[in-house]
Amino acid sequence: MGVMPLTDMPWWRWRTNVRSALHMLSDPVFHHECWLAGREGYGDVTDAVYRLVEDTWLDNWSAEKYVGTIFRDSAEATAVDTAALRVLRIMHQVGADAPVSAYLEHHGWPEAVRAAREAHVMLATNDAEDPDIPPRSLDVIRIMTRAA
């Protein structure tokens, strides 16, 4: 399958939120420059995890359920499932209200970041977008998901 624009997916707004969360979770420079620094407009780790799972319920069932609506194929679904499970496991261990540093210092964090990066790169590439641009602010994501 060739690359396609994000809005070609039926539930592209949900895809936008999942991609945004994966992007933030997958970028160690972002973690330090935004989350650890307390930069406004990007939420925190818990916010990113919630955006990853809130509309999709990926904390309750597989992303495979959304192939054709949010995810293009089983490869995307598998990559997203892997990332979601890794970050959820850490969130449950450190607590949803834990400071950013607790996540970043967790022994499983590097693997969660790697899994999020793999999923982020796959989804961004399949949407014909550069996976290496900095994550967008939450205000930009809101504007994007309101535009039709």
- The pLDDT score that the predictor gives to residue 2 is 44
Among 14-23, 50-59, 81-90, which stretch is predicted with the lowest mean pLDDT? 50-59
**β partners of residue 71:** 67
- The pLDDT score that the predictor gives to residue 135 is 96
Q: How large is the average pLDDT for residues 112-119?
A: 98
pLDDT above 60 for 4: no
Q: How large is the average pLDDT for residues 11-17?
A: 94
Question: Cα–Cα–Cα angle for 62, 97, 80, nearest 5°?
Answer: 20
Backbone angles phi, psi at 73, to 5 degrees: -160, 180
Q: Output the pTM of the full model.
A: 0.93
